[in-house]
Structure formats: structure tokens, C-alpha cells
């Protein structure tokens, strides 16, 4: 049995705790919780609760910890857990910048422990299918990708009820590093990282926040592939439409469906080069794949972490995997700040210096609003 301590009992930490208590994670046992606020919920009676991470790491009999505290604490707490000789799984984002993610990966290597990241949307069957199609060559050479992910709507209370959300100090970004980190992780997971990108961010356009709540980005990949990514936390209903234009097929993912158009007689480029019909188009075959589930999500990631600790599975969601979306999020912000193209991988030290300047004049909210209602299941898109 892998004995786990969960640090941070906000909405997501509570979900991890509840999943462990419900026995949803094979081979794992909830040993304790660490939460700096008083824990009064009766369902946690009987579970050892620490108020301080150092106290937990010194005294608790745990093999691993899940860090589900505010984003700016992931790196220092993750490192602390590793240095105490335990495995760690940190919530997304793995850190605020690639330089810190790199340091965390190195800390795990030198401690000989696992460092995992909550990349739960990789378990979404629709995205796994897209990856299989693209990587398996089912769509041929990919020419263009477009993902408009603008249904991450959040009202003001989402930010004002929290000390850290929507601030440079608390999360070093907004729509990119918090909500869309999942989508840009899928882009990197399916297509790899681009060679360069150019992004335009709007800061506090819809909300009274320091960070970005609307982003438009163009990416250039090797092999002449380009991609556009648009995200927003200010539109409603917005849309989630992921389009992939390949030489053998055209795929549109939207509303839990994958619409596939395949070219009956081979590739589009062959047809383009050889047809005699001036206004001709190739013959196509259409199919629709329906995906009615979101897959195992957080339970899947924690289960893999535990299985990797026990040596039953390789670690699928490592810190280095978590760095990919951070590369993209950091590069998009850097591009917007510099008003210029940015090459990837970014210079982590340069980004960290630029971020530190933002953080220097940023403040956590001193009196977050307390009159709010959380319906956490509605947060997932």
C-alpha cells in the first residue's frame, strides 16, 4: 500500500481526498491531510490533519504526497516533499515557469523519487483518439491546426473569492496557466512543441485581474505545419472546436464528437497536383465518432502515479511532461510582453527574470470575498 498525504483541501484537494477514501485508487491509502485552515467537515473526522507541511513531512508515515495548494506553492512544496524522501504529485501547473519545473525534475532525479503532474485531460478518450490518429498517420501529413477553446468562462467571483487567482504572484498568468494549460498540454502531447510562436494577450479585458483573460496565438511547427490557438475566460457560451487539416483527412472535434473526412483516393496533395477539374474537389468519406465520457481524469493520473511507485506501470505524467504546457504558456506570455516572435524552447532564465518583474509589483488579494458558492463539477470543460 502506498501511504499518501494530501496537502491543501480546497475543491481539488478535497476531490483527491474523497477519491482516496472511496477506494478509487488501487494500491493507495489516505494517511493524512495537511490544510492550513481549520478542517471542520465531519466526513474527515478520524483522519489525521496537519496544519503545517514541515510538521507533516517530519512526523507522518507517508510514501508520497499530492500537492493541491495554490499554483505558486507547487514548486516550493513539491521540492520540499522530494527532499524529505517522498514521491510527489503536484497539481497543474507543475510550476510557474520552466526554470522551476526543470529544478523540480532535477530534484526528483537526485532524490531518486517520482515527481508527477496532474495532466488529467490526457485521459479524455476524445483527445487520446486524436493523438492516435495524428501519430499513427491516419490524417497524413498535418498542414494546419486550429483550436478555439473559449468556453472557459469564469465570473468575477471566481477570482475575487481567492487570494491568489488572477494575480502574477499567485499563478503567474490566467487563462493560459490555469484553465487552458490542459488544452496546450494536449497540443504538445499530440503534435510536440512548435519551433516558434507569436501571441497576443489581453490582460484584465473581462475581469478586474492582473493577468490575461483572452489569448490569440499562431504557432509554427517543423514540417511546415502551423497552428492557431485562441482561448478566453470572458465569453459565454464560447466554443471548444479543434480542427486538424491533414493531407489524408480533415478532423473536427467539437461537442464530444469527432467528425472525420477522409480522401477516398489517397491524399489531397496528389489530387491537387493531378486533377483536370478546375473547380474540382476530391471525393470523400465521412464518419462520426461519438465520445460520451471524459475518461478516468484525476483518478487515472493518481492511479498511474501509485502504480509507478509500486513498479507496476511506467510514470505517464512526469514533471518533464508537465514542462511542455509550461513551455507553451510561458512562451505565449513572453511573446505578448515582447511584442515579438519567440523561439522554443524558451530561455527559462530570461522568462523567469521577466516574470519576477511582474511578480514584484503584484499582490495577493488581502480580503477575498467569502460570500460565494462552489459547484466544482461545473469547473471542468
Ligand X SMILES: NC(=O)c1ccc[n+]([C@@H]2O[C@H](COP(=O)([O-])OP(=O)(O)OC[C@H]3O[C@@H](n4cnc5c(N)ncnc54)[C@H](O)[C@@H]3O)[C@@H](O)[C@H]2O)c1
Q: Which residues bind ligand X (CB under 6 A)?
A: 7-13, 34-37, 53, 68-71, 73, 91-92, 118, 120, 162, 178
Is the Cβ of residue 176 or residue 219 nearer to ligand X in the bound state? 176
Query: What is the smallest separation between the CB atom of 65 and ligand X, expressed in angstroms?
Result: 11
Q: What are the backbone dihedrals phi and psi of residue 222, each rounded to the nearest 5 degrees, phi first?
A: -65, 160
Query: What is the smallest separation between the CB atom of 309 and ligand X, expressed in angstroms?
Result: 20
Query: What is the smallest separation between the CB atom of 281 and ligand X, expressed in angstroms?
Result: 41
Query: What is the smallest separation between the CB atom of 377 and ligand X, expressed in angstroms?
Result: 11
Which H or E element spans position 115?
strand 115-117
Read off the C-alpha cell for 232: 478566453
Is the Cβ of residue 13 or residue 322 nearer to ligand X in the bound state? 13
- Taking each helix axis from N to C end, the angle separating 297-309 and 11-21, rounded to the nearest 10 degrees, works out to 60
As a whole number of angstroms, the distance between CA 302 and CA 322 comes to: 15
Q: Report the half-sphere exposure of 108 (CA within 13 A, side-chain side).
A: 24
Instruction: Confirm if 166 and 207 have CB atoms less than 8 A apart.
Output: yes
As a whole number of angstroms, the distance between CA 291 and CA 283 comes to: 26
Query: What is the smallest separation between the CB atom of 68 and ligand X, expressed in angstroms?
Result: 5
Query: What is the smallest separation between the CB atom of 294 and ligand X, expressed in angstroms?
Result: 11
Is the Cβ of residue 53 or residue 346 nearer to ligand X in the bound state? 53
Is the Cβ of residue 121 or residue 150 nearer to ligand X in the bound state? 121
Q: What are the backbone dihedrals phi and psi of residue 105, each rounded to the nearest 5 degrees, phi first?
A: -60, -40
Q: What are the backbone dihedrals phi and psi of residue 153, each rounded to the nearest 5 degrees, phi first?
A: -55, 135
Is the Cβ of residue 7 or residue 107 nearer to ligand X in the bound state? 7
Instruction: Confirm if 350 and 330 have CB atoms less than 8 A apart.
Output: no
As a whole number of angstroms, the distance between CA 71 and CA 169 comes to: 9
Is the Cβ of residue 185 or residue 214 nearer to ligand X in the bound state? 185
Amino acid at each position: 500500500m502506498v501511504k499518501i498525504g494530501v496537502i491543501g483541501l480546497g475543491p481539488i484537494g478535497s476531490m483527491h481526498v474523497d477519491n482516496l477514501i472511496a477506494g478509487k485508487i488501487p494500491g493507495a491509502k489516505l494517511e493524512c491531510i495537511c490544510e492550513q485552515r481549520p478542517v471542520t467537515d465531519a466526513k474527515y473526522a478520524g483522519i489525521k490533519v496537519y496544519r503545517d507541511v514541515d510538521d507533516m513531512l517530519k512526523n507522518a508515515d507517508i510514501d508520497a504526497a499530492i500537492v493541491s495548494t495554490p499554483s505558486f506553492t507547487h514548486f516550493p512544496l513539491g521540492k520540499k516533499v522530494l527532499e524529505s524522501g517522498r514521491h510527489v504529485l503536484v497539481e497543474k501547473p507543475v510550476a510557474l515557469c520552466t526554470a522551476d519545473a526543470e529544478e523540480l525534475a532535477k530534484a526528483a532525479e537526485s532524490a531518486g523519487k517520482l515527481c508527477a503532474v496532474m495532466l488529467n485531460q490526457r485521459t479524455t478518450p476524445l483527445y487520446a483518439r486524436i493523438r492516435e490518429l495524428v501519430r499513427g498517420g491516419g490524417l497524413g501529413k498535418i498542414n494546419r491546426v486550429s483550436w478555439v477553446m473559449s468556453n472557459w468562462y469564469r465570473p468575477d467571483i471566481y477570482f475575487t473569492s481567492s487570494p491568489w487567482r488572477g494575480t502574477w504572484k499567485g499563478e503567474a498568468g490566467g487563462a493560459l496557466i490555469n484553465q487552458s494549460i490542459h488544452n496546450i498540454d494536449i497540443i504538445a502531447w499530440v503534435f510536440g512543441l512548435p519551433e516558434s510562436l507569436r501571441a497576443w494577450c489581453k490582460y484584465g479585458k473581462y475581469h478586474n485581474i492582473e493577468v490575461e483573460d483572452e489569448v490569440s496565438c499562431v504557432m509554427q511547427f517543423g514540417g511546415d505545419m502551423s497552428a492557431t490557438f485562441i482561448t478566453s475566460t470572458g465569453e459565454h457560451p464560447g466554443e471548444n472546436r479543434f480542427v486538424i487539416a491533414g493531407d489524408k483527412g480533415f478532423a473536427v472535434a467539437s461537442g464530444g464528437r469527432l467528425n472525420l473526412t477522409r480522401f477516398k483516393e489517397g491524399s489531397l496533395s496528389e489530387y491537387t497536383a493531378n486533377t483536370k477539374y478546375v473547380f474540382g474537389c476530391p471525393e470523400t468519406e465521412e464518419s462520426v465518432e461519438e465520445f460520451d465520457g471524459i475518461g478516468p481524469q484525476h483518478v487515472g493520473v493518481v492511479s498511474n502515479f501509485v502504480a509507478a511507485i509500486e513498479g507496476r506501470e511506467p510514470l505517464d505524467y512526469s514533471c518533464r511532461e508537465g514542462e511542455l504546457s509550461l513551455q507553451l504558456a510561458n512562451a505565449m506570455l513572453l511573446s505578448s510582453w515582447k511584442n515579438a516572435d519567440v523561439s522554443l524552447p524558451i530561455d527559462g532564465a530570461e522568462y523567469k527574470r521577466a516574470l519576477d518583474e511582474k511578480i514584484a509589483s503584484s499582490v495577493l488579494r488581502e480580503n477575498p470575498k467569502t460570500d460565494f458558492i462552489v459547484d466544482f463539477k461545473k469547473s471542468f470543460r
